Amino acid sequence: MRRGNMILAAASALTLALASCGGGSKSPVTPAGVARLTTIDFANVADYANPRLPAYFDATVKALDNSPATNAVNNRVATLGRVLFYDLRLSTNNHASCASCHQQRFGFTDPMRFSNGISTAAITDFHAMRLGNLRYWQPGTTFWDRRAASVEAQASHPLHSLIELGWGGPAGGLDALMRKMAATELYPDLFAWAFGSPAITEPRIQQALAQFLRAMISSSSRWDQGYARVFSPTAPNRALDRDLPNFTAAENRGRHLFMTSAAQGGANCSSCHLPPTFALAADSGSNGLDAGEKRLFKAPSLRSVGLTGPYMHDGRFQTLAEVVEFYDHGVQDGPALDHRLREGRAPRRLNLSAADKAALVAFLMTLNDDALIKDPRFSDPFRR
């Protein structure tokens, strides 16, 4: 906390310096250089730190937030994260950035089953993950197989990866990347502006990317517009099973199936994909894609899931209809299979009608968040 305050204090001293000398030679930012390369308005820094959240993003949602106290979102650091996320210079050959595989218009994923990074000759082992509501997942681990401990730790992986941004082994590691960044007309000034000194370090890169990623909150889908009108913290199940006034009959049927348990005639999806964030429940076991599965995977939030397939860690399903078919009658038994997908000892069979399957897909489509995919705060800041 105290360290954060000091950084903030240093940062506002720099604003004053910048304002009073009008971007002169003593300014910590070289406005000419940064402005030449990016469209960022340094006089009006975008707000990442104080999101306007719906009433139902209350204490129950805050409890899921994996933001560490040591890296609370700060507008300048998150702005630096935005530049890093979109900068092709962060790859060895200037061909790829985080945004190559995490494309805003698709909810920050890639329509390709496996992604290309620095070269079209190589592909990733897994399907790229959507990034909205990444912060609402305890214990905060990242990647499908949960192997990175935090969003901060994750941020270094694509940099090191020989397939993604290419800095591993022969390319010289992150030291070579940081030397490349230090030689740009962008980064020494931007790091000084964000952190109070120009040093480019791996922890600072991690902090900036993690802040930018955690700021990607999704709370403006059609489901949100409807739910905001019926939500009540004291209603049974927080009114999640109320019909929404802006939904079609099929969407409301799909919503009911998603939100309710088998006892209430539902498919119980919401017991793992938790509304209102639709991020995965911390205690979710396997969803039984493969027989004998022992591994535990996470799922990204289902928000914007309808913008593009394919689905699951290996992108095995092309469409949401295929996903629903799988949950209907394809769940496989294995040691890691979650109890919520069992009926007695056997994998659960939903045996939904064709109309109910279509309704479930129609509901999933209502989670698409047009505001997040058009939000200029998360768009490419570079002049290209």
Contacting positions for ligand HEC (CB under 6 A): 85, 96, 98, 100-102, 115, 117, 124, 126-131, 134, 142-145, 151, 154-155, 158-159, 164-165, 209, 213, 267-269, 271-273, 284-285, 287, 289, 297, 299-300, 302, 305, 311-313, 323-324, 327, 338, 340-341, 360
For residue 192, the minimal CB distance to ligand HEC (Å) is 21
Torsion on CA atoms 184, 185, 190, 192, rounded to nearest 10: 90
Question: Min. distance of Cβ 206 from ligand HEC in angstroms?
Answer: 9
Q: Select 61 or 272, whichever has its Cβ closest to ligand HEC.
A: 272
Contact 119, 260 (CB under 8 A): no
- Least distance in angstroms from the C-beta of 237 to ligand HEC: 16
Minimum gap (Å) between residue 117 Cβ and ligand HEC: 3
- Residue 14 or 155: the one with the smaller Cβ distance to ligand HEC is 155
Distance CA 57, CA 237 (A): 15
Please state the separation of Cα 176 from the chain's center in Å. 28
Residues in the chain: 384
Burial 18-39 (b: 16+ CB within 10 A, else e): beeeebeeebbbbeeebeebbe
- CB nearer ligand HEC, residue 18 or residue 320: 320
Tokens 């930018």 found at? 212
Give ∠ CA 205-206-212 in degrees, rounded to 5: 90
Which CB, 192 or 312, lies closer to ligand HEC? Answer: 312
**Of 18 and 83, which has the nearer Cβ to ligand HEC?**
83
Tell me how far, at minimum, the Cβ of 264 lies from ligand HEC, in Å.
14
Least CB distance from residue 373 to ligand HEC, whole Å? 15
> How far from the centroid of its chain's Cα atoms is residue 30's Cα?
31
Whose Cβ is closer to ligand HEC: residue 40's or residue 129's? 129
User: Shortest gap between Cβ of 273 and ligand HEC (angstroms)?
Assistant: 6
Closer Cβ to ligand HEC, 189 or 356, answer by number: 356
Question: Which residue type occupies 228?
Answer: A
The token duo for 329 is: 């009658």
Could you tell me the CA-to-CA distances from 254 to 83, 154, 258, 338, 378 in Å, in that order? Answer: 39, 35, 6, 22, 31
Q: Determine the distance from the C-alpha atom of residue 177 to the mean position of all C-alpha atoms in its chain, rounded to a whole number.
A: 24
